[in-house]
Structure 1
Amino acid sequence: MKLRPPIALVVDDEPLILMDTSDMISDEGYAVLEASSADEALAFLERHSSLQLLFTDVQMPGRLNGLDLARQVEERWPHIQVIVASGACRPGPDDLPSNVSFIAKPISAGLVREVLRFHQRQKYPENPDDSE
C-alpha cells in the first residue's frame, strides 16, 4: 500500500513567491495546494480540512490577513501545523498561538526544510528517522 503524501496549503498574494514557496514545500514531500488570499484559504479549509500544513504570508488583500487565518486555523483545526511568513512585519509574542512558527522573508529552501522538520519533531518526537 502506497502512502499518500501530507497535504500543504500555501497562501500568498504574490504569484512568484507563491510558486517558489510551493516548490520548496513540494520538494520536502508535500502535495501542495495554493491560495492567493487568506479569505480563499479559509473558504477552502471549510470544505477540506484534511490538510497537515498551512504556510501563509501575513499581508494579503481581503477581509483576513495571515495572522487572522493562523488564529482561525489553530482554533478550528488544531491538527493543522501552521507556519506564518512575512518580510514586512514581525508578529509580537501575543500575535500568534504558541505552536505557530514564524519565519522572516526572504525564505530559503534550507529554512523551509528546517521549520518543517521542527514541526515533524513536535508532532512525532520519537521518530528515529529525523535525527539530523
Structure 2
Amino acid sequence: MPKAKPVILIVEGEYLLRMDSAETLEGGGFEVVLAANADEAIVILSARSDIHLVFTDIQMPGSMDGLKLARVRPRPLAIKIVATSGHVRAVSDELPAGSVFLPKPYLGAELIATLRDMTGIS
C-alpha cells in the first residue's frame, strides 16, 4: 500500500504564484490544497485534519497576514509553517517554534527540499 502524500495548504494572494507553487509541489510529491487568503485558510484548517504544513505568503489581502495566520488557533500544533515574502523578512520570534522563513524569490527545488525536510519525506 503506497504511503499517503503529505498535504500542503498553500496560502497565496497572487493567483499565478499560487498556481505555480501548486504545480511545483504536486511535481515534488505533495498533495496540495489552495487558499487565496488567511480567512480561506482558517476555514480549510477548521474543516480538514489532514493538513501537514501551511506554506503562506506573509503579505496578503484579507483580515490578517501570514504571520498572524501562523499564530492563529485552532491550528493544530502538529501543523508546521513555512512563511515566505519578497518584501519583508520574518524573524524567528515572529513565527511559531519550528517554523521556517523562505525568502522570495526561491527556486522550486529549494521549496521542495524545505517542505520534504519539514514533513519527513525523502
TM-score (normalised: structure 2)? 0.90
| 1:27-79 deviations in Å (ceiling 9; x for gaps) | 12111110100111011111113211110001111111101111126x73111
Partner of 2:100: 101
Deviations 1:65-111 (A, max 9, x none): 101111126x7311112110100100123211120010001121121
Conservation of the 8 A alpha-carbon contact between 2:53 and 2:119: no
Which consecutive residues of structure 1, in runs of 5 or more, have no partner in the other structure? 125-129
How far apart are the structure 2 equivalents of 1:40 and 1:63?
10
Paired residue type of 2:24: M
Q: Is 2:30 the counterpart of 1:30?
A: yes
2:72 paired with 1:87: no
One-letter code of the match for 1:98?
A: A
Q: Distance in 2 between matches of 1:76 and 1:21?
A: 22
Checking the alignment, whether the CA contact within 8 Å between 2:52 and 2:119 is kept in structure 1 is no
Which protein is bigger by CA-based radius of gyration? 1
1:1-132 alignment runs, 5 A limit? 1-72=1-72, 76-121=75-120, 130=122
Taking structure 1 as the reference length, the TM-score comes to: 0.83
Unaligned 5+ runs, structure 2? none
- What is the rounded CA distance, in whole Å, between the counterparts of 1:2 and 1:118 in structure 2? 20
Q: Distance in 2 between matches of 1:120 and 1:13?
A: 24
Aligned-CA RMSD value:
1.8
- Structure 1 segments (4+ residues) deviating >4 Å: none
